[in-house]
Structure 1
């Protein structure tokens, strides 16, 4: 199935927003808070007011993927309550953004909350897409020369249509050399519950991913999804691979000053 067929493309708001919501995601909250903080700081440096609702919880994807649709709808309704204002909702994860933008309307099709789900979904933006297309982010590189490669998450590509946006941001940094990985679009083997239900297959997939990443000769791997980063970096650590893995937001914030 093609990216264009599966994705629900975001559209640039008619006016540049002054206030946005930030959805933290479970993995950011529990394992990679620095990625979420970096994402919020990038938005703030562009002059935006960033609101982080304390009542936000899981996006509902684990329940939905396991077939617990009513339980997933209960979780989603909590997000409706946590993000009541008509502001854009910025998500530092293609997986969670895809769940919210693509699957919320499907989950509530024919339900009383369908219109609310569709309105909510229309406000969801993946972070790198928002930085490129809405904010036109320009950064001045203050870091030392470094060679990186990009890992594209499945959900970012196939549900959110995110393909070149992260790499445009990386290429804009003068001291960063982006080395293309011919196999960057191959799944890392995480897939949420897939890695639990099919551990042997998942392990083989991440081993292939690590081999392709190492073959680029880059010193760092950058990605925009913490699920992929957790899976790949964990496997790298077990294998003794010295390469560093970073979330895009953290990498950009560390290296760049807003021009």
Structure 2
């Protein structure tokens, strides 16, 4: 039975969907422009967007460290903050997958709370897949004359099936040339705490990834996960590469006033 305090997942969106934007920690602390770009894209698609002030972390760092008790405490806050929305949209495959894939398993042993978690999970979507698959967005406000390459982040690709959607929307931007990345589906080496626990392995992986990025000949690297982008942008910078990095939402929304990731503000 579905609790009347929160709406069920929808197969067909209402005329003006009420969307809760789960901004993510990295966007909030390191790249707020991604959040603003997400709001612009969602509003253009016809959504009414709200960003609940009560939101914090999705709990993924604690979950990956094996701390189930604190993960559950965080998840309960997320459920309470977002369950009243028609949809929950996340500009991150990893955080989106945490809500969509891992929350239900986390609360499988709590039959009283599990239905609320399942309802939240069913209406949670990664940003670009939501725009393309649910809202059927065909045109975006972004304009970019130049070449880009795209990295498929592990969680978005393997847990949420995000692959064709960003490419489909990027194809609609006049002047943009997409140069496919060799081994685009291979990990960048970030992996959350993986890069801290296994720094030498992580560095080897990101070095190979950056080599492939440079070989593409693209001037701009795009991805849908800020953690991956911070990792790759940092390595590209240390290599002295001229390739710049941005979240795909920034290009789709035309939010390009901020310097690329890791670049100094000229002002």
TM-score by length of 1: 0.91
Q: Which position in structure 1 is the counterpart of 2:89?
A: 90
Alpha-carbon distance, 1:16 to partner = 4.7
Q: Which has the higher contact order (CA 8 A, sep 6+)?
A: 1
Find the aligned partners of 2:159 and 2:17 in 1 and give their Cα distance: 27
Q: Is the 8 A contact 1:16 1:135 kept in 2?
A: no
- How far off its partner does 1:46 sit? 2.5
Residue equivalent to 2:217? 217
Residue deviations 1:183-229 (CA, integer Å, cap 9, x gap)? 10000000000000000000000000000011110110111100100
Aligned ranges 1:1-259 → 2 under 5 Å: 12-13=11-12, 15-111=14-110, 112-139=112-139, 143-254=143-254
After TM superposition, give the deviation of residue 17 of structure 1 in Å.
4.4
Deviation (angstroms), 1:136:
1.9
Q: Secondary structure at the match of 2:204?
A: helix
Higher mean C-alpha deviation, range 167-176 or range 208-217: 167-176
- 233-242 vs 195-204, which deviates more? 233-242
Q: Is the 8 A contact 2:131 2:137 kept in 1?
A: yes
How far did residue 139 of structure 1 move? 2.5
Deviations 1:60-118 (A, max 9, x none): 11111100001100000011111131420010000000000000000001113211111
Contact map agreement 1:143 1:255 (CA 8 A) in 2: no
Q: How much has 1:11 moved relative to structure 2?
A: 7.5
Alpha-carbon deviation of 1:237? Answer: 1.1
Count residues in correspondence. 247
Partners of 2:180 and 2:21 in 1: CA distance: 30
Query: Structure 2 unaligned runs (5+)?
Result: 1-8, 257-267
Residues 11 and 80 of structure 1: CA distance in aligned 2, closer, same or farther (over 3 Å): closer
Is the CA contact (8 Å cut-off) linking 2:41 and 2:253 kept in structure 1? Answer: yes
Alpha-carbon shift at residue 240 of structure 1 (Å): 1.0
Alpha-carbon distance change, 16 to 130 in structure 1, aligned in 2, over 3 angstroms: farther
Structure 1 segments, 4+ long, off by >4 Å, are none
